[in-house]
Amino acid sequence: MKIKYFLLMISLGIILPSCEILNLFLAPQEVAPARPIYKRIEGGNFEIYDKYLTYKKLSPLNETYDKDVMDWDMAVSLCSQLGDGWRLPTNAELMIMGRNIDTWGGNYANHWGVNGSNYTAVGFTPNGPESFGQGVASKKSEFRVRPVRTIQ
């Protein structure tokens, strides 16, 4: 009787843990919902990307770091790499963004934008957006980039 009880205990010690391991594989896993990559701004027919664009830059000491300001060509290139309709905001969209800067987590800084087929830079100040006008800045100037896309 003791031997049967002993064998039963040993077999339970082997079988039960393996059942728990099986449950790990068979039980449905909860997957966290994907974080949206955009925010909607009230008063606009566009969505704004949920963060400023950055890119990797090599320092003179051969160290890589994230750079959060860029020239015009880099801004256009990075927006197009996002795909799915992401682009630089128009002047009108930049003005709406400036009025709602706290809702989308923007910075009071200069931002790249477009005006028709021309480039533009708009600076946000604590008192609201202040337009620096079309083409005043050089394309080699470095500004922040917050892509937008039209709401379908």
Identify the pLDDT of residue 36: 67
- Run means of pLDDT, 10 residues per run, the chain, 152 residues: 57 52 53 71 87 91 92 94 92 87 87 86 75 72 94 82
pTM for the full predicted model: 0.71
Within 8 A by CB and 6+ apart from 54, the residues are 66, 67, 68
Identify the pLDDT of residue 26: 54
Q: For residue 56, list its beta bridge partners.
A: 66
Cα(122)–Cα(109) distance, integer angstroms: 8
Identify the pLDDT of residue 22: 44
- CATH code: domain 38-150 is 3.10.100
Identify the pLDDT of residue 128: 64
81 sits in which H/E element:
helix 72-82
Within 8 A by CB and 6+ apart from 43, the residues are 96, 99, 100
